[in-house]
Amino acid sequence: MKTAPLMRAMSQMGGFEQVLVHTGQHYDRAMSDVFFEELGLPEPDAYLSVGSGTHAEQTARAMQAFEPVLLQFAPDVIVVVGDVNSTLACAIVATKLGVKIAHVEAGLRSFDRTMPEEINRILTDQIADYLFTPSRDGDVNLQKEGIDPKRVFFVGNVMIDTLIRLLPKTNPERATAAVGVKPHDFALATLHRPSNVDDPDTLTQIMKAMAEVAKKRPVVFPVHPRTRARIDDLGLASLSGDVKLVEPAGYLDFLALESVASIVMTDSGGVQEETAYLGVPCLTLRPNTERPVTIESGMNRLVASKASDIVSAVNTMVAQGKAKHTIPELWDGHTSERIAKILLEQ
């Protein structure tokens, strides 16, 4: 969702020779190939097949596999997005080979270093040459960390470029019918972060909360493969009650469901951003967020991963309905164009 609009903007602007590297960190068919198809991404020029594993294993494999690719293509700059292990891995390889790094989605901070993504964000920003921030708080965070302001560019949110372009292509009626719910009369859930999924007590609390919420309104839960494995290992499927545990959705189907949900329960950063733009109430099952702008928009609220707290917060937010919200600055669908222009002029 972040790479597709960038490649599109650079192709339309001209002056770029692009090489697409798929690290393979997101290796499940439903979590990867379908997104390439729906987003109109070309076939990757290189596929690293990083796969799953511990943080150390993923990072090391990505570094080993990326180095020969970087030497082969010898680019002027690599563009890394987000905060996953391959973001940091590829940035480290590039900086040691003297290749410039552009970090898209720079400057986001949860201030919680127990989150692996926080470490990836901090370290990538320290070595990046171009830091493209999605919100003003990112600029402030980077300034406090001593990053040269000349390397920082506030450009807006590239994820919203994709949302704005593809929202008209979604079919909410078909997507809701496929999972047996009605538009504006269901809750949508996503869950994948280790802090929620890997702790048996926390995951149990969340599953109990979803089951309780489902007594009043349908809960649609497209289950991430990692989460599905934990639910099965812990025997928690029996706790799900009337929750609809469905297969992971492609981008268009998920966006369709998201746009007509009564409320979204998530631990995903991207979903927080999308709901903030769409004006859909979002309950983030985390004690903190690296995207405080989504809370400032009026659509997002943090809640502890405790069953009673989650159920209470869902009831409150659904009762309030779609509150008046503010779309964050420069979330206008033109972020990729701004990034491409900056890179072309450097």
Instruction: Return the residue matching tokens 């538009």.
Output: 183
Residue 108: both structure tokens together: 């986001």
Find out whether 299 and 225 touch, Cβ atoms under 8 Å: no
CA dihedral 231, 233, 235, 238 (to 10 degrees): 30
267 CB neighbour count, 10 Å cutoff: 22
- Of 192, 224, 325, 334, which one is the catalytic site residue? 192
Query: What CA–CA distance (Å, rounded) separates 324 from 314?
Result: 18
Report the SS3 class of residue 140: helix
Residue 50: both structure tokens together: 């990083």
Non-local (6+) Cβ contacts of 204 within 8 A are 234, 236, 239
Query: What CA–CA distance (Å, rounded) separates 114 from 221?
Result: 26
Q: Does 22 qualify as catalytic in the annotation?
A: no
- 187 forms beta bridges with 219, 263
Active site positions, annotated: 192
